[in-house]
Structure 1
Amino acid sequence: MDISIVVPLLNEAESLPELCAWIERVVTENHLSYEIMLVDDGSTDESWEVIEKLSRSNSHIKGIRFQRNYGKSAALNEGFKAVKGDVIITMDADMQDSPDEIPELRRMITEEGYDMVSGWKKKRFDNALTKNIPSKIFNAAASWSSGIKLHDFNCGLKSYKRKVVKSIEVYGEMHRYIPVLAKWAGFRKIGEKVVEHRARKYGTTKFGWERFVNGFLDLATISFVSKFGKRPMHFFGLWGTLFFLVGFIMGLYLVISKLAVTDFTLTNKPAFYLAMTTSIIGMQLFLAGFIAELINRNAPERNVYLIDQKLGI
C-alpha cells in the first residue's frame, strides 16, 4: 500500500464527508493505493455515524473509536499502530490542512529520502494574539532545545516513513513533539515543507490557551527523558554532588573559623543554615537518583532498544 492517512478527530461530523472526498480525489488522480484511518477521540456529535457511513461506501476508509476523549496524542498513537502503508500522512479533520499537499509530502519521503517531513503553515489564518505569537515563541523554544530546525512543530500535516511511526510512542500531549520523538529514536533526516493553511470551515477549535502551558511542560519532560531516561543518576547525581560540595565546603569553612576564633558562634551565621540546606538538597537529589535507577532497572522495557537491521541472525 502506498500511503496511509491518519486523521484524529473530535466532533467533526460536518467536515468528514468533504475531507474524505477531497483525499479520495487527490490519491486517485495520483494513482496511489491508500487507506484513510479516521480516529474518533470520543466525539459527542454524529462523527462516528458519519465514519460508519463513509466506510460502507468506501472500503479504503477505516475507523477507530475511543470510548471517551483521550487526546490527540492517543488518537495518533492508535492510528500509527493500525496503519499498513509505506508512507504515513497525518492531517487534522477541520479542513484547515489541504489534501493537495499529500503527493509532495509523499515524494519527499520516497524520493528525497527523508524519514519524516513536517508541514510549515507559513501564512496562517488564526488569531495573531492568541495563536500566532504564542506559537512562534513555542516553536523557537522547541527548536532551540531539541536542535531540530523546524518552524512549526505543531502542524498536523506531516509525512513519515512507515518504520518511524512503528518505532515511536506518542502519549500525553507529545503529538507536538513527534519530530523530537523521531530524532530520539534515531531518525535524523527530518525535513520541512511550506503547506497551505486554510480558514476553518466548520465548527470551532478544540484547543484553548492551556495548550501553550502544557506544551512547554511537555518540552521540559521530553528534553529530560530523551537525555536521562535510561541513566537518571547522571542528572540527579551531578546536581546532588554540586549541592553537597557547596554545603560541605561552606560547613568546613565554618568549622575551621570556629577552631581559629574562640568566640565564633556557628548558629548565628546565615552561612551555617545555607550550608545545611545545600547539603540536605544534595543528599535528597542523590536519593532521587538512586530511586529513579531502581525504578528504571525494574521497568519491563528497560532494555528495549530500537534496532535498525540485523545480519546473519
Structure 2
Amino acid sequence: MQPKISVVVTVYNEEENIQPLVTAITEALEDIPYEIVYVDDGSTDQTVKVLRSIDHPHLRVVELMKNYGQSPALMAGIDHAKGEYIATMDGDLQNDPSDIPAMLKIAEEGGWDMVAGERVNRQDGMVLRKIPSKIANYIIRTSSGVHLKDYGCALKVFKANIAKDLGLYGELHRFIPVLAHLEGARITQVPVKHHARKFGVSKYGLGRTFKVMSDLLLMLFFKRYMQKPMHLFGNLGVILFGVGLLINFYLLILKILGNDIWGKPLMILGLMAIIAGVQFITIGIVIEIQMRTYFESQHKRPYKVRTLS
C-alpha cells in the first residue's frame, strides 16, 4: 500500500538523535499510513550503524557514497520516497514530528501544494543562528517575491509531484519555497514548535548568510529569465552596443571636424561597449538555444496544468 506521507530526514553525524527521532515520528504518525526515509550524507560516526540496528517496518535507509551536502541528500530522499505527500525535516530533534499531521491536514483541506513551518519560538543562539537567519529571510523575501517569514525551517509538507520536480542542486535547499513557487505551487506557512539541540554539534553558522547572497542571484535568474534568457542578455547587449555606437559616432563627428581622437579613453570605452554588446547578444542566443534543446529533447513543456475538466 502506498504510504500517505513519506518523512524524509537527512543526517550527517547525528548518531545520538536517530532513535529518539524515529520514536517521535512513529508516535506522531501512528494513525496515518507513512514511511520514514533516512538519508545518511556520508556520516563519519555511528549514524549508519544505529540506523541499521533499528527494527522498524516503515523505516528505509539511503546511504550515500560520501558527503554531498544537504541539497543532494534531500534530493536523494525525495527521489526514493513513495508517499502521496512528502515531509522534510532535520535530524537534530529541533523540528517536532507532532506538527506533521496538522500540516498534512491543512495541505489536504486547503488544497495547498506546500505547507512550510515557521519557528515562532526559536531555541537557537541569538548571534550564531537568529540574526543571520533574519538577514537571510529578509533578503530572500524582498528579492524573490515569495513572502514567507521563515525560509530556514526544514519542516515542510509537499505534494509529491511538486517535491520531485524541485531540482535541488548545489545548496538550493534554502530556497525550496522559491523553487516550489517557480513550479506554480500554492504555498502557505504555519507556526510549528522548535526545540533546542540536545545532542551533537550544529552545522550552521554566520558563513551561510554570505552563501545565501550568491545563491540568491541564481534564484533571481531562475525566477525571471529561466525560460527567456534572451530578455536578460539580449537587452544588456543591445544597450551596450547602442552606447558604443553613439560614442563612436560622436568621435567620428569630432574626427571630421579635424580633432585628434586617437588614444582617447572615450574611444576605448566605445569599442569595449560594442564588443561587450556583441558578446552579451551572442551569449543570449546560445543560452536560448540550450533552453529550447532542454525542453524539446526531454519532451518537456514550458507550462504545467493544475486541473483539466
Query: Shorter-chain TM-score category?
Result: over 0.9
Secondary structure in 2 matching 1:152: coil
**2:129/2:205 contact within 8 Å kept:** no
Q: Which residue of 2 aligns with 1:150?
A: 148
1:289 CA displacement: 1.6
Distance 1:268 1:308 in 2: 59
1:161 CA displacement: 1.4
Q: Which residue of 1 aligns with 2:210?
A: 213
Q: In the alignment, does 2:262 pair up with 1:236? A: no
Distance 2:305 2:46 in 1: 42
1:303 CA displacement: 4.7
5+ residue gaps, structure 1, are none
TM-align CA RMSD:
1.9
Secondary structure in 2 matching 1:35: strand
Q: Which residue of 2 aligns with 1:20?
A: 22
Distance 2:225 2:44 in 1: 40
The one of 113, 129, 132 aligned to 1:131: 129
Amino acid at match of 1:234: H
Distance 2:145 2:244 in 1: 35
Secondary structure in 2 matching 1:63: strand
**1:39/1:65 contact within 8 Å kept:** yes
- Identity among equivalent positions (%) equals 36
**1:296/1:302 contact within 8 Å kept:** no
Amino acid at match of 2:80: A
Distance 1:157 1:63 in 2: 19
Distance 1:107 1:234 in 2: 41
The one of 246, 250, 253 aligned to 1:249: 246
**1:87/1:109 contact within 8 Å kept:** no
1:270 CA displacement: 2.9
Distance 2:5 2:228 in 1: 38
Distance 2:99 2:219 in 1: 29
Q: In the alignment, does 2:195 pair up with 1:193? A: no
Amino acid at match of 1:255: L
1:311 CA displacement: 6.4
- Aligned residue runs from structure 1 range 268-287, under 5 A: 268-287=263-282
- Aligned residue runs from structure 1 range 45-84, under 5 A: 45-54=45-54, 57-84=55-82
Q: Which residue of 2 aligns with 1:304?
A: 300
Q: Which residue of 2 aligns with 1:107?
A: 105
TM-score (norm 1): 0.91
Distance 1:190 1:296 in 2: 27
Query: Residues 309, 179 of structure 1: CA spacing in aligned structure 2 closer, same or farther, 3 A cutoff?
Result: closer
Report how many residues are paired.
305
**1:230/1:302 contact within 8 Å kept:** no
Amino acid at match of 2:176: I
5+ residue gaps, structure 2, are none
Q: Which residue of 2 aligns with 1:178?
A: 176
**2:135/2:209 contact within 8 Å kept:** no
Amino acid at match of 1:280: I
TM-score (norm 2): 0.92
Q: Which residue of 1 aligns with 2:290?
A: 295
Amino acid at match of 1:220: L
Distance 2:56 2:189 in 1: 32
- Aligned residue runs from structure 1 range 79-90, under 5 A: 79-90=77-88
Amino acid at match of 1:267: W
